[in-house]
Chain A
């Protein structure tokens, strides 16, 4: 035990004496997660900024403008036709609604002209307003048909229609689903970065091997189990700091509701970090060079994250791939998060935690065995 403590304290001292290593080993992995939080974890504004280009100036256009303005979903501003492209490009508006010349006259005469919608963001953004305008112009067409070209009758009917529109009592429900889905993607990224973060163990051992201090440690009365335990514990300490920091940032800075308690999230991520450290150790144990270790790490981490559902929902994959994904620890960790988000209890995720523990144990045992049998201690590059 004394040797384990000595190796841990020596690793921490020799690594973090260089202040830039604090950034490399702790803040860089955090940065990756934060980036994904910013991209996927912050819901975009629900209000559409609409640029209103009016080539008509008729009474019906004024009515449309008023109807759009009164809707909470739209933030309306008058813009010139010539400015539309630049406003869209610098993201001052989300879309532009262009009313053609003679629109009002067309309504009275029953020959409705099309309203043009311009957007850079596509269907995702325009669908709502398209539907809104479609409903509005349908009504205008029906009123126009009913008034049979009588302008004063049309105006009265429109006025009556607007004043008699159903009044709704709106109750706002907190949409936890949006937050949960966003967080699910973030947790996928978090898990991927934890895997890369577990490379801390690998990088320390690889560095020890390169500068032969590993050889020297091996000649002392230290066995491979003690050496592995020391490095795994060191790595775990770093990972725990990272998990704490991420959960605090999620909660207090980005105000993202994970849908489960901080403790539950911490335990699940901690269990996964054991596995991540195990993977790092196995990759190091089987590598004859730093280059090989780095290649193996990329070859293992990215595909298993894709397969395990870190980047997209597992359900989107074919059935056989969903079955294969059960062999990745990422899948079990993400499942556990999802179960807890759905109101599950500890007993509901006990299998997930057990599988993660089994992954970790198996990987650490394989690494330990391999380390004890490695015979090229002096030739590592």
Chain B
């Protein structure tokens, strides 16, 4: 069964087309990864699914209900974990969760029980009566999640839920996502952390310029660039004056990513260009510290597909 169906959806802001004829089906029970560089159209797509943004063309349905015609009904199916923590500092954890859950029709004992369960789920039950201003960043992120799940939504949209938190809290959140999925929620997950997406998502869509440019499981996406080799070159000097465009001039190279002193080069397998790559560095007086060849991963797929890093 389709939880979300987007059919030829277009949304423009003035002259800028943020989402361009986007079609997407998200099946029940999936953890669906939505990847794309900044400005690719992910947030616009999410806001249209949640009914916050009006779209110009096409149609969107959530659990078979049209988002435009049955807005309140579809909103009730969804729980959203916003990118930025959206809670009331003046209210206790329990009051926060109860307030947001009450907007979905929960009341009385049912509301109290659901709020406590959500806090238990996110590991905050001992802090139910505490105010979030005393919480760490990770705890606030977990409360942010608790506020979105207390009403037991069929679809949970998590927009970068692990930004800026410690590894322990991140791990807790990732485990929570899997558990929520096991309990029957379908999840749309966006993140800048590729390893998170590889770890938890059953299917991934890569968006760029308002369109879905690749869609499939992690393996299927990696197969899309099975004809490429990935070379990781670590250089000695951070300020070695390496230019991406110069490397891209080397025959066979289709994408380059530079992060600090590590240069990731994607090349077509059929072209033998390793000697030319090494020559580029040595002829420019750049000392190579190490060189590693690796199989294509999701990050390489993203780079090859969009020509940009995920954090761009």
Cα separation A223 to B23 with both chains bound (whole Å): 27
Asked if B103 and A213 make an inter-chain contact with CB atoms under 8 angstroms apart, the answer reads no
Q: A14 with B91: in contact, given A212-B84, A219-B75 (CB under 8 Å)? A: yes
Asked if B52 and A218 make an inter-chain contact with CB atoms under 8 angstroms apart, the answer reads yes
Which of these, B80, B83, B95, contacts A13 with CB under 8 Å?
A: B95
Asked if B103 and A220 make an inter-chain contact with CB atoms under 8 angstroms apart, the answer reads yes
B128-182 contacts to A (CB < 8 Å): 147
Q: A375 with B13: in contact, given A6-B102, A18-B90, A212-B82 (CB under 8 Å)? A: yes
- Chain A 206-234: CB-based contact to B (< 8 A → 1; otherwise 0): 00000111011111111100000000000
Which of these, B53, B80, B90, contacts A216 with CB under 8 Å?
A: B80
B280 nearest CB across to chain A (Å): 42
Asked if B43 and A378 make an inter-chain contact with CB atoms under 8 angstroms apart, the answer reads yes
How many residue pairs bridge A and B at CB < 8 Å? 77
Cα separation A209 to B89 with both chains bound (whole Å): 14
Q: A212 with B86: in contact, given A13-B91, A375-B13 (CB under 8 Å)? A: yes
Q: Is A377 at the interface (CB under 8 A from chain B)? A: yes
Asked if B53 and A220 make an inter-chain contact with CB atoms under 8 angstroms apart, the answer reads no
Q: A378 with B83: in contact, given A6-B102, A14-B90 (CB under 8 Å)? A: yes
Which of these, B86, B95, B102, contacts A211 with CB under 8 Å?
A: B86
Cα separation A219 to B76 with both chains bound (whole Å): 9
A6 nearest CB across to chain B (Å): 5
A43 nearest CB across to chain B (Å): 44
Q: Is A17 at the interface (CB under 8 A from chain B)? A: yes
Q: Is A111 at the interface (CB under 8 A from chain B)? A: no
Q: Is A10 at the interface (CB under 8 A from chain B)? A: yes
Majority secondary structure of chain B interface residues (helix, strand, loop or mixed) = loop
A24 nearest CB across to chain B (Å): 13
The number of residues on chain B lying at the interface, defined by a beta carbon within 8 Å of a beta carbon of chain A, is: 34
Which residues of chain A are within 8 angstroms of B53 by Cβ–Cβ distance? 375
Q: Is B93 at the interface (CB under 8 A from chain A)? A: no
Which residues of chain A are within 8 angstroms of B278 by Cβ–Cβ distance? none
The number of residues on chain A lying at the interface, defined by a beta carbon within 8 Å of a beta carbon of chain B, is: 26
B51 nearest CB across to chain A (Å): 8
Asked if B52 and A216 make an inter-chain contact with CB atoms under 8 angstroms apart, the answer reads no
Q: Is A135 at the interface (CB under 8 A from chain B)? A: no
Q: Is B85 at the interface (CB under 8 A from chain A)? A: yes
Cα separation A377 to B46 with both chains bound (whole Å): 13
Q: Is A350 at the interface (CB under 8 A from chain B)? A: no
Cα separation A7 to B72 with both chains bound (whole Å): 17
Which single residue of chain B is at the shortest CB-CB distance from A222?
B103
Asked if B91 and A215 make an inter-chain contact with CB atoms under 8 angstroms apart, the answer reads no
Q: A17 with B50: in contact, given A215-B82, A220-B104 (CB under 8 Å)? A: no
Which single residue of chain B is at the shortest CB-CB distance from A10?
B99
Q: Is B193 at the interface (CB under 8 A from chain A)? A: no
Question: When A and B form their complex, which 10 residue pairs have the shortest distance between CB atoms, in order from nearest?
Answer: A212-B86, A220-B103, A216-B86, A221-B72, A221-B75, A14-B90, A219-B80, A6-B102, A14-B88, A10-B99
Add 8 more A-B contacts to A2-B102, A219-B78 (CB < 8 A).
A10-B99, A213-B88, A216-B80, A216-B147, A219-B51, A220-B103, A223-B71, A377-B52
A-B contact pairs, 26 of them (CB 8 A): A2-B105, A3-B102, A3-B103, A7-B103, A10-B88, A13-B90, A14-B90, A17-B91, A211-B86, A211-B87, A211-B88, A212-B82, A213-B86, A213-B87, A216-B100, A217-B103, A219-B50, A219-B51, A219-B52, A220-B75, A220-B104, A221-B72, A221-B73, A221-B75, A223-B72, A378-B82
